[in-house]
Structure formats: structure tokens, C-alpha cells
Amino acid sequence: MLRTAHTDWGYTTSTGLAFTHEEIVDPHFEACAAYYEDALDDLGIQPGWQVLDAGCGSGAFLPRIAELVGPQGGISALDLAAESAERAAERMRGHPARAPLEVRQGSVLELPYADGTFDAVWCANTTQYLDDGQLARALAELRRVTRPGGLVAVKDVDGTLSTVRPADPFLITDFFRASAESNGYARQLLRGRDLYRRLRAAGLTSVRQRTILMEHHAPLSPAALRFYGNACARFARQATSLDIPGDWAPFLDPDHPAHPLRDPDGYISEGNVIAIGTA
């Protein structure tokens, strides 16, 4: 998996990949839970299904998947970071849905499951860490472990829809544009709306895709302030070090009372894409 300059973005797990630590991803899920669960529900998971959460992180999606499959179904979950897999397993201990669960450490580039094992595969916030060749390999693996007629769903960010107020409306867009001039993580954050054709190229059929605009208005929730304040501060520090133009100073301290997201008119949005295909 691509690791170039990931430490510059911060919040890494043992994998060295940016924005993967529970201190940043869990507040993000909490702040955006309604949007995330809506995307998951779009997959159409049925009671009794066997479902894989590929790249499960700390397991934030697992409770909802367990509710959907019920005790007659089953869940497998896998994450590259061993500590994330352990946290996901701990999250589900004693969960009232009582769906059978197996959690493993492993890579989406080489899934440790037999062909046709699952009725559906869910892969969220993971493909952004793969270069184009790795993405094709991962999608082939997701398809391989899904039964014929089963569903593969990939959800990831679309950085082109990120904006913040009160600020220059193109501040974050210009940051991504400048950062994405060379291959790397920033460019992969702009690849979300290409997922539908990537799934088609992987041999999936009946591919459908939709883009979700996730919006947060003042007063932002504590979870949203925590996530977006820290994320904007990281962007600001990186933009400053790279001499990317823009008024980044107000974003450097996420706890400052004058931070734009604490303004009465504070607003931030981000885009997410979900693409679903049939194996």
C-alpha cells in the first residue's frame, strides 16, 4: 500500500497510513453516522447473509451490519492494522444482535477467504490508500470472494466536494489541486467519482453509484468539531510548509475561539461516493 508522505498527513496507525488512527476515524464516524449508515443500507444486506467488512478499521460499521444480517447470518471483518482489528473485535463483544463474527488482520490485496464465500462485501474508506494498480487488484479480490450474484460495495471520499465557511470557498479545493500534482495520497482522495468505472473494469455488472454530500452547520457537534478541526489544522500546517497559497492561519489552532468552524456561520462539507456492483 502506498505510504509516500503519509506521515505528513498525520493520525497514522501501525500501518503508517494517514488518518487511520481511532482518535481521528471514530470522531469522523460519530459526526457522520447518519450519512454512513444510509450508504451502508443502500447495499441491501438481507437477514441471514454472510457479509465481509474489508478494511473494517475499528469496527464502526459492524454493529449496523450485525443488525442487518441477524443471528442467522454471519460477519467477517479484516483490517491491515492489527490494533484496529483487535478494537473491532472488542467493540462487538456482547453486541445484542449476536451475529457470528470473525475478525482478522490482513490486506485487501490478498484476502484470506475462499472464492464465493460472501453474499456481500462492504469496503469503506479503504481504497483511498491504494494506487491505481493496487485498487484494481483489491477490486479483483473483493469480486473473487463474493458469490455469483452477490454484491460488492465500495465507499470512499470525494475530495472535490470539500469546502469550509467562513473562508475562501476554494481553499480546500486549491489545497487538493496543489497536493495532487504528483502521484500520492492527495490524488487518490480525488478519485471517488471514478469508482463506478473501476468496478466495471473489475468485471462487476449492474454497477450503480451515487455521491453523498455530508454537510455540517454551526453549531457543529463536539465530534464534528474534533474531527474537522484537527483535519483542517493538519491541512493548514501542510499547506503552510508547502507554500500553498491561502489564508490558512485561522485553521491552525482547532481550539481557538475564533476558529472558522466555531463561527455562528461555520460550515463544512465533504463528499463521499458509494459504488455497488454485482459479481
Query: CA nearest 187: which of 142, 251, 130?
Result: 130
Mean pLDDT lowest for which of 123-127, 214-218, 234-238?
234-238
Dihedral sign of CA atoms 123, 126, 132, 135 in order: negative
- Domains in the chain: ranges and CATH: 6-278 (3.40.50.150)
CB-based contact 263:166 (threshold 8 Å): yes
CA 125 → CA 12, 144, 157, 243, distances in Å?
Answer: 14, 20, 7, 28
CA 276 → CA 87, 121, 155, distances in Å?
Answer: 27, 10, 9
CA 50 → CA 92, 143, 153, distances in Å?
Answer: 16, 14, 14
Query: CA nearest 126: which of 266, 1, 255, 260?
Result: 1
The span from the CA of 222 to the CA of 27, in Å, is 9
pLDDT value of position 207: 98
Side-chain-side CA neighbours of 229 within 13 Å: the count stands at 22
**How big is the CA angle at 250 (ends 244 and 251), to the nearest 5 degrees?**
70
pTM, to two decimals: 0.91
Give the rounded percent of residues in the chain with a pLDDT score beyond 90.
81
Where residue 30 falls among pLDDT bands split at 50, 70, 90?
very high
Mean pLDDT of 3-10: 54
Element (H, E) at 68: helix 62-69
CB-based contact 223:24 (threshold 8 Å): no
Mean pLDDT of 177-197: 89
N- to C-terminal Cα separation, the chain: 25
Mean pLDDT of 168-197: 90
The span from the CA of 65 to the CA of 51, in Å, is 8
pLDDT tens digits, 84-104: 999 999 999 978 878 999 999
Name the amino acid, one letter, at 4. Answer: T
pLDDT tens digits, 108-163: 999 999 999 999 999 999 999 999 999 999 999 999 999 999 999 999 999 999 99
Helix (H, G, I), strand (E, B) or coil at 23: helix
Beta bridge partners of 155: 124, 274
